[in-house]
């Protein structure tokens, strides 16, 4: 989601041949090329746009795939939320981004399709919220621009914190039929993050278009993670800058 820590030296566990590539290259003509080089050597490379402006590399740390192995099944909402909170915790501990994690699961089987963590500051890209990354990799994995297709399992998005305006819109367009939230918008804003124009009507709209929302799963744990991130000096980017209302 929203923020990530400043670049700094830190220890990383060695990659152990993750089951899906940590990098994906999106080309301007719509083709997808998977990277094959060692992600450890690329762990601090920024996603870049070439001089032609047609090539963007999204670099996801290898440990994300190791923590959320695609195809691994999770029993219930509590276990799935525990996973995305653990991703957020690990993201902070490794210095790879802010306190947000997300994952897409198959409904019914409980299998992980893809996971994401916040990479905004680390990758110098405002789009790379945890939910956005999880959705992009999930669609790449199923080979479709939508996760809601005839003959395929339905999908759900779990996020350690309520989506911002951008991520809520992407949730609708992605084709997931269920959104499960840990910490609430108020928890994120209490530590300084700006969430954008998200209203009760926004949730009524996505509900009318087939997206069920479930709230409060491990909220206390997820909110505590946000406060700990702030208290440890984690940078808050795009803070609420709304000017105070004054009388005439």
What's the CA gap between 226 and 224, in Å, rounded? 5
131 catalytic per annotation = yes
pLDDT at 135 over 90: yes
Taking all residues of the chain, what is their mean pLDDT, rounded to a whole number?
81
Residue with more model confidence, 203 or 30: 203
Which residues sit opposite 49 in a β-bridge? 56
pLDDT at 246 over 90: no
Residues 6+ apart with CB under 8 A from 197: 165
pLDDT of residue 30: 37
pTM: 0.78
Tokens of 98: 């802010």
Domains recognised in the chain with CATH numbers: 23-231 (3.40.140.10)
Least confident of 32-36, 64-68, 217-221: 32-36
pLDDT above 70 as % of the chain: 75
What's the angle, vertex CA 94, arms to CA 33 and CA 13, rounded to 5? 75
pLDDT of residue 56: 77
CA 110: distance to chain centroid?
18
pLDDT of residue 235: 81
Residue with more model confidence, 247 or 149: 149
pLDDT at 232 over 60: yes
From 122, 131, 156, 195, active-site residue: 131
- Binning pLDDT at 50, 70 and 90, where does residue 28 land? very low
């Amino acid at each position: 989601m929203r923020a990530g820590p400043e670049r700094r030296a830190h220890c990383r566990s060695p990659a152990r041949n993750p089951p899906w590539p940590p990098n994906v290259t999106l080309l301007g003509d719509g083709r997808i090329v998977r990277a094959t080089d060692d992600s450890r050597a690329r762990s601090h490379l920024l996603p870049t746009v070439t001089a032609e402006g047609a090539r963007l590399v999204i670099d996801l740390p290898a440990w994300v795939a190791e923590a959320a192995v695609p195809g691994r099944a999770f029993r219930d909402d509590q276990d799935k939320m525990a996973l995305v909170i653990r991703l957020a915790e690990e993201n902070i501990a490794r210095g790879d981004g802010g306190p947000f994690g997300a994952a897409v699961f198959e409904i019914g089987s409980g299998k992980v399709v893809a996971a994401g963590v916040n990479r905004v500051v680390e990758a110098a890209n405002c789009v790379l919220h945890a939910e956005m990354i999880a959705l992009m990799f999930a669609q790449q994995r199923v080979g479709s621009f939508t996760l809601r297709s005839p003959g395929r399992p339905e999908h759900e998005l779990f996020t350690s914190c309520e989506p911002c305006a951008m991520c809520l819109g992407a949730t609708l367009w992605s084709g997931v039929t269920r959104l499960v939230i840990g910490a609430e918008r108020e928890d994120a804003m209490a530590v300084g993050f700006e969430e954008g124009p998200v209203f009760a009507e926004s949730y009524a709209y996505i509900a009318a278009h087939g997206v069920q929302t479930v709230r409060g799963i491990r909220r206390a744990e997820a909110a505590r993670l946000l406060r700990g991130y702030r208290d440890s000096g984690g940078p808050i980017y795009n803070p609420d800058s709304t000017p105070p209302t004054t009388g005439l």
